[in-house]
Structure 1
């Protein structure tokens, strides 16, 4: 009764109504700010035409990037490719941390997982030598974005639509493609069905994942043009996510750093990575076997390769990146565990 009496006295005070009105206005303002923040994060609701095409495009991207192929390798018993989702393993990249260095406050080079690097930066320059897994990573990002199957640190990427732009396909063009021409220039057969302004809307809303593969495949005379094209894209669409790949010899580590790109370098595979890759490769191979006998045949091949890579120094020196590991897995199966003893023999 005392509380009820106190409330009655307070609400009857002449200043209560004015004060309550002020608080209601403030609460309404805070609610509006929260709603606008959610709207900014989610983006406007796509119309029916955009959603329908986005679904068709996602199916195409998932199919086009669902397999890793070994080109230029003649095999009898082994397939020249395997399902990416089964065979892919996460790799490590170089990174920097401020704490723990000899000089306080000075960044120290360290090693981090590629997913951590991608999750921390919206613009990443990924460097690595031939065969280190750059293009395979681009495929993996495109596949997961299309299927919306990112997890952990990359869960927010499931709202992104991937655009895979392989620069070697653009070297003959007089002008590098604007967003409206991304699909046509990339050879996507669906390009004529895209709603007008579709790519532009995705880029503006921050829902585009722009995957630019192979700066090193651009002739020297055209690299400045490529750099200007990328800078213009970022200026026009700063909310999109960008991943650019290159060999280290093509451009310096600071390339595009003024546009907010963080450089990371793919590191050589360690013994644990190699063992994991061998396991993933054989799991992928088993998924495509036509009989139980064929699947069972892979068990001794996998065990023999694990043992050989761990005990033979020549193979250990070869198995330092995904391409070489894939070649060894395929040849080990195709040649019934008769493996090459030198890099030259492997190439031959």
Structure 2
């Protein structure tokens, strides 16, 4: 999990439902730590955990409960000598029983559902009054009705207030959560992080270790699944979600290998999910539906996906598009009426049963809070939408339906994945026709942007089968045009196009088109920059040969070659002893650019061994500020938060120039050291006789994000500093912290009269930021303008008003 950081402030300002779930979670810059450390890391007794669908919220709550039930509280950072009682309540189930209090519901659940013996009177009260309960309230967003959810929140608040000696955790998806449910001052907010590569690898180990007694077979399966993920970035991105990784692992277990084609993988995933719905044959035996069967469910999903996808143009929303329950019922009713040739009222009854099913089971389409439904992941919506278009074309015997969709939606980012999946599943000659239609589309500004060519190249990256046999000339034409862009001068081809070309050509590794690409490189290697060619060789399976070349170049007489070699080694990800030692040796290089690149490379490689950390600590004393700054940055990346490292980085933050200070502040945040010790040291720095130290301390406090009253008051005092640049940095920091109290606003308004022009400008910008998150700033600013309307500096207040009301162009 991670602390919310800047994301939390954006979310608090956004309100409920006004920002997409992904947009919120992507803004997180907070401190990260293992979820089982939550209770020891948080200073508050009560916390809220937010997480995307399938991120593991319910699993985490169950894990906490099991650890206490097994009498392992020390695993969670709780007192091992205390006997703890976990009280786990699913909020959706409690909402059905609002005639009962939380305690009464817990008792009924324990005695009826868990079948325990009748509990003695006052059982739960005994533990709660003693402060020995861990209260786990899971899935607040699953209380669908707004009024009911508000009532549940009120009950939770009262309950936790009554038994305030106990630890409590509340979970929700952002989509079903509102900013005013629980005050962040009392309930710190955390989010569940997606799996990184290390977590994915650990999951794969545990998955196959638990399923195969034959360790040799388990190891073979592990390596097979890891390679399948490494070979497909898009599938690996899905694997960052625990639910989707579980589905991928299921498919791999039963089929031994994952389909290389994305659309085949998604097809297998859909089948797996639909089969899991019918595990007890309730659908097949008409235990739930009167008319629908499993085949009909697939068709309904395809129809719904197409309908939802065509309703709005939503970009960058990995969870798909949410739809209102009533709209869902209406659409399902019409589709079932047509599909099964029944009366509308019969279709509506069937649609109601369908919605009940998807609410109570995990599947492709699920309830996502606030009476809204959506696909569990937008990928499934896109895949099933493509399936529906293909169905229509096949059913009508008209491939023009596919071509018309391409013409209508080409280069619309909302439709990109749909079109790629649609073209990839076509028979060879049809796929060739579709790709030819893309290549010859003549989109606007094609001579400069090359979007048609790049999309055609992306179609090849999907590896449509037997395309070479259907139209070899088309493939050669696309590859040759991409290659010509690759070798064109940088002045004639923009950076974005060049990077797209690089990604597309690299994605053709291990496809049917790999041989053609390698032939182009071999025949015309003299036209490609040596460094660029090395990057291609590394991507096409020659990484170890490339590393050998770069290690040689680290000793080149030309410093430009040496620093580029160090930089390239950092990006290749090989942290072998040979590579590490070669980079450490470059710390003695006479050129500062080489030393800087060596430090950065060591940070990127992430190997925090004692020799590496010691060498980096020594580089913090380098005579060149560029090297010192990037060294601090590297230490932050390595994540070694020992007292020695933190003290050394903190010293750079307090005593160095602004360039080094910025990187040292970043490092401390990455190391999770926005702690009381660091904050107190920075507050002390605000009193330092050296004005540079005071200014650096102000900037660092703004970056750390601690908006406590102590920090804010210390910064307010620096607004009166005798050095203008300290006043500037204090104003900037206050704007970043987001505290829009009357005292802060009034103090910043006073700075609009500062004689040094830089101070009013920065104060105005800070007020502009605060005004976007607080309603009372505008009236205060207007009052200030009215009071100073005859002054020469009134325009500074108007600048604030402009920033808040109109915004910057």
TM-score, with normalisation over the residues of structure 2? 0.28
Aligned to 1:94: 3
- With over 3 angstroms needed to count, the CA separation of the structure-2 counterparts of 1:301 and 1:316, relative to structure 1, is same
- C-alpha separation in 1, matches of 2:4 and 2:71: 27
The answer to whether the aligner puts 1:229 opposite 2:149 as a matched pair is no
Deviation per residue, 1:120-174 (Å, 9 max, x gap) = 2321111001110101101110110101124356142763211110112123224
Displacement of 1:175 = 2.1
Work out which of the residue numbers 133, 144, 159 in structure 2 matches 1:219. 144
Work out which of the residue numbers 115, 124, 135 in structure 1 matches 2:58. 135
Aligned to 1:311: 231
Aligned to 2:123: 198
Checking the alignment, whether the CA contact within 8 Å between 1:278 and 1:325 is kept in structure 2 is no
Deviation per residue, 1:12-61 (Å, 9 max, x gap) = xxxxxxxxxxxxxxxxxxxxxxxxxxxxxxxxxxxxxxxxxxxxxxxxxx
Task: Note the 1:172-183 alignment, pairs <5 A.
Answer: 172-183=96-107
Aligned to 1:110: 31
Deviation per residue, 1:189-233 (Å, 9 max, x gap) = 345521110100101111111111111110123101110110111
Checking the alignment, whether the CA contact within 8 Å between 1:234 and 1:259 is kept in structure 2 is no
Of Structure 1 and Structure 2, which has the larger fraction of its residues in helix?
A: 2
Aligned to 1:185: 109
Aligned to 1:165: 89
Aligned to 2:210: 284
Checking the alignment, whether the CA contact within 8 Å between 1:231 and 1:259 is kept in structure 2 is no
Aligned to 1:125: 48
- With over 3 angstroms needed to count, the CA separation of the structure-2 counterparts of 1:161 and 1:153, relative to structure 1, is closer
Checking the alignment, whether the CA contact within 8 Å between 1:206 and 1:239 is kept in structure 2 is yes
Work out which of the residue numbers 244, 250, 270 in structure 1 matches 2:196. 270
- C-alpha separation in 2, matches of 1:94 and 1:176: 34
- C-alpha separation in 1, matches of 2:76 and 2:255: 41
- C-alpha separation in 2, matches of 1:333 and 1:202: 44
When the two chains are superposed, the root-mean-square deviation of aligned CA atoms in Å is 2.5
Residues 333-342 or 182-191, more deviating = 182-191
Displacement of 1:321 = 1.7
SS of the aligned residue for 2:86 comes to strand
- With over 3 angstroms needed to count, the CA separation of the structure-2 counterparts of 1:299 and 1:281, relative to structure 1, is same
Checking the alignment, whether the CA contact within 8 Å between 1:146 and 1:161 is kept in structure 2 is yes
The answer to whether the aligner puts 1:154 opposite 2:77 as a matched pair is yes
- C-alpha separation in 2, matches of 1:264 and 1:145: 21
Checking the alignment, whether the CA contact within 8 Å between 1:298 and 1:333 is kept in structure 2 is no
- C-alpha separation in 1, matches of 2:73 and 2:223: 31
- C-alpha separation in 2, matches of 1:254 and 1:113: 27
Bigger-Rg structure (1/2)? 2
Aligned to 1:331: 251
Which structure is higher in RCO with an 8 Å CA cutoff and minimum separation 6? 1
- C-alpha separation in 2, matches of 1:253 and 1:347: 35
Deviation per residue, 1:65-91 (Å, 9 max, x gap) = xxxxxxxxxxxxxxxxxxxxxxxxxxx
Checking the alignment, whether the CA contact within 8 Å between 2:91 and 2:140 is kept in structure 1 is yes
Aligned to 2:438: none
Checking the alignment, whether the CA contact within 8 Å between 2:239 and 2:245 is kept in structure 1 is yes
Displacement of 1:297 = 3.0
Checking the alignment, whether the CA contact within 8 Å between 1:304 and 1:337 is kept in structure 2 is yes
SS of the aligned residue for 1:285 comes to coil
SS of the aligned residue for 1:111 comes to coil
TM-score, with normalisation over the residues of structure 1? 0.63
Of Structure 1 and Structure 2, which has the larger fraction of its residues in strand?
A: 1
- C-alpha separation in 1, matches of 2:122 and 2:185: 25
Displacement of 1:283 = 2.1
- With over 3 angstroms needed to count, the CA separation of the structure-2 counterparts of 1:206 and 1:230, relative to structure 1, is same
> Where in structure 1 do 4 or more consecutive aligned residues deviate above 4 Å?
none
Checking the alignment, whether the CA contact within 8 Å between 1:95 and 1:112 is kept in structure 2 is no
Checking the alignment, whether the CA contact within 8 Å between 1:270 and 1:320 is kept in structure 2 is yes
- With over 3 angstroms needed to count, the CA separation of the structure-2 counterparts of 1:112 and 1:317, relative to structure 1, is same
Work out which of the residue numbers 135, 152, 155 in structure 2 matches 1:210. 135
- With over 3 angstroms needed to count, the CA separation of the structure-2 counterparts of 1:255 and 1:143, relative to structure 1, is same
- C-alpha separation in 2, matches of 1:153 and 1:138: 12
- C-alpha separation in 1, matches of 2:155 and 2:116: 21
- C-alpha separation in 2, matches of 1:133 and 1:199: 27
- C-alpha separation in 2, matches of 1:344 and 1:118: 38
Deviation per residue, 1:174-199 (Å, 9 max, x gap) = 42433244131365434552111010
- With over 3 angstroms needed to count, the CA separation of the structure-2 counterparts of 1:109 and 1:93, relative to structure 1, is closer
Structure 1 unmatched runs, 5+: 1-91, 98-106
SS of the aligned residue for 1:245 comes to strand
